[in-house]
Structure 1
Amino acid sequence: MKAKVHIFLKNGVLDVQGKAVEGALGGLGWTDVSNVRVGKVLEFDLKASDKSAAETEVKAMCEKLLANTVIESYRIEVA
């Protein structure tokens, strides 16, 4: 199965990279852009018996390693 994890800073956490990108876009003429958030996407293959088992396994990975759940939120896709 293919797993994809989207990780972003939680609302209220300052996104320094997002602010830098927003400033750069504004400097290049895209002044209508605001509230830029930068995140990361992880994609990997996973051997699992079914989709539910895969989602449970990926959630455990996120909680233990992939995301800092104090300041980051995540969304899982399994196909």
Structure 2
Amino acid sequence: MGVRFRKSIKLAPGIRMNFSGSGIGWTIGPRGASVGIGKRGAHLNTGIPGTGLSNRTKLSGGGEGGRDHTGTQANGGDQGDSG
């Protein structure tokens, strides 16, 4: 079982500074519609607070070949039919 570290500090309404084992990041915006900026690029986070329904969309930056929000390989899998 792995141990994860995460700490978030509210700097102002709608602005949080996030610390984790992989580095420092920022979250800007209200609950339900925020932009996260960090080592893996920028992401748009949208959701309905209190329901557990959410979506995360990559906006820019970060490395290629990582995992998407479903936990599956982002740049792998079937390449389709060639003919």
State the TM-score, normalizing by the size of structure 2: 0.26
Report which of the two has the higher share of strand.
2
Higher RCO (C-alpha under 8 Å, 6+ residues apart) = 1
Query: Under a length normalisation based on structure 1, what TM-score does the superposition of the two structures give?
Result: 0.26
